[in-house]
Amino acid sequence: MSDAATDLAPAPVKIGFLIYPMVTALDALGPAQILSAVPGAQMHYIWKEKAPVASDSGYTINPTHDFDDCPQLDVICVPGGFGQVDIMNDEAVLGFLRTQGQDAKYVTAVCTGSLLLGAAGLLDGYEASCHWAWHEQLALVGATPKQGRVVRDRNRMTGGGVTAGIDFGLTLAAELAGEDVAKLLQLSFEYDPQPPFVGGHPTKADPATLELSRAFMADGVASMAEAAKQAQANKDKARAAAE
Amino acid sequence: MSDAATDLAPAPVKIGFLIYPMVTALDALGPAQILSAVPGAQMHYIWKEKAPVASDSGYTINPTHDFDDCPQLDVICVPGGFGQVDIMNDEAVLGFLRTQGQDAKYVTAVCTGSLLLGAAGLLDGYEASCHWAWHEQLALVGATPKQGRVVRDRNRMTGGGVTAGIDFGLTLAAELAGEDVAKLLQLSFEYDPQPPFVGGHPTKADPATLELSRAFMADGVASMAEAAKQAQANKDKARAAAE
């Protein structure tokens, strides 16, 4: 942007988002908007191949990197989405995350993305958050479910559902570049939210809306539970084989 | 998603976002995430041609429609961004918006996008909002600046800066599909914001952060003012020629 940003620039920081078919776009692109403005940010949008990837919002985006040419990242972030069920037991994806997770400074997720981190074994013994409707499934993949819009445990940082990615992005920006920069970004992106309705969380929603929302997501919740159990079984099997 | 969504489905609603080089991605993709979940939504991402368009966040997205094959939309939405300066006086873009604006049910914008609507003559005599740093420039293009996270004047609906697009999207979802659906979406996207810092609006920010943010955007604000004045001069000239 302006020279003011350059004046603040610290060392380069490699930030990467996994982008897969039917990802919930905002899970990734909300925090990516914030984090791409962190001085020194080098953004990576990663999938198996560089062909356009369909988001859940009716457009495709083009990965900048594939699993082979993606460098070691400082920050790896896994967004959620209905398409995630199909990769919960995909060894190519899990292997990529495990490799990155070994040396990344921050291993992160938004929404149900934390379940994929768990499937890769990256949340074993860590506290984590998740979209409210899938939150308890964290226990299925070795994580300790903890309520929170943004939950941090050592170098793991995980956000709640979808729009929590904005809060997550600003919180991580403060870690990466300091609180002054994060406050600058919060003001520059005019993050002064005024939700038009009460009820953005089950603790605040009226019963009818909650019931409707559960029905809206029921299939996705059920299929993710199955995939999570399978992923954990595979982890247990690999661990037993290694012993 | 699930059958519950289908049960609520009204008639199809054609929703389109203008996507241009160096668009502020979240301006568009935040509300697009919300609106794409409105039952009956048919999403359109539109630019002059269908080649990949670079966002400001380090990735490209692929337009689904160009100016020639985009149907008449029910909702046209213009996002903001630093790249907008370059199209404030682009007759192909302004002509497309004018044509769509004539019959669209809702003519909308997020962030500085309202200045482009104004350049196209679509806010003459209308109240509108804009990103706080560009807000007063609305007067340069014939609109009446009005403070507000989401401002509605007849069938015009405009949002404040960047993250205001989420509030805008939910407000518009309520218009399109009713308040019950909008509340369902607010809960399903877990929109229960918890900004990590105070100060997402100039009225709440500390002086040092405000000064830094103004410096951060100074070049963009100055160049947009020039472009807006030129656009208004062109409108005046066209009007005089028509008389």
Integer angstrom CA distances of residue A17 from A33, A49, A66, A78: 11, 14, 11, 6
The answer, yes or no, to whether residue A1 has pLDDT greater than 50, is no
Burial class of residue B17 in the structure, from the number of CB atoms within 10 Å of its CB (0-12 exposed, 13-18 middle, 19+ buried):
buried
A26·B29 Cβ contact <8 A: yes
**Which residues in chain B have Cβ-Cβ distances shorter than 8 Å to A219?**
1-2
Report the pLDDT value the prediction gives residue A53, as an integer from 0 to 100: 98
Tell me the domains of chain B and their CATH numbers. Answer: 3-242 (3.40.50.880)
Q: What is the arithmetic mean of pLDDT over A189-196?
A: 97
Chain A residues in contact with B161 (beta carbon < 8 A): 188-190
Q: How far apart are CA A79 and CA A109, in angstroms?
A: 6
Judge whether residue A111 has pLDDT over 90.
Answer: yes
Query: Taking all residues of chain B, what is their mean pLDDT, rounded to a whole number?
Result: 95
Return the structure tokens found at B143: 């609109």
Q: Is the pLDDT of residue A50 over 60?
A: yes
Q: Do B195 and A25 touch (CB under 8 A)?
A: no
Mean per-residue pLDDT for A144-168?
A: 98
Binary contact (B205, A197; C-beta < 8 A): no
The partner residue sitting opposite B196, judged by closest CB among A170, A208, A218, is A170
Q: Which residues contact A16 (CB under 8 A, 6 or more apart)?
A: A43, A44, A45, A46, A65, A70, A73, A75, A76, A77, A100
Contact B206 A183 (CB under 8 A): yes
Q: What's the Rg (C-alpha) of chain B?
A: 18
From the list A45, A82, A160, which residue is nearest B59 (CB)?
A: A45
What value of ipTM does the predicted structure carry?
A: 0.94
Lowest mean pLDDT among A9-18, A190-199, B154-163: A9-18
Active site residues of A: 111
Among B44, B192, B216, the residue with its CB nearest the CB of A188 is: B216
- Is A62 in Cβ contact with B64 (below 8 Å)? no
Mean pLDDT of A170-178: 97
Q: Which residues of B touch A32 (CB under 8 A)?
A: 25, 57-59
Average pLDDT over residues B186-214: 96
pLDDT classification of A4: cutoffs 50, 70, 90: low
CA A9 to chain centre: 25
Residue A10 has pLDDT above 90, yes or no: no
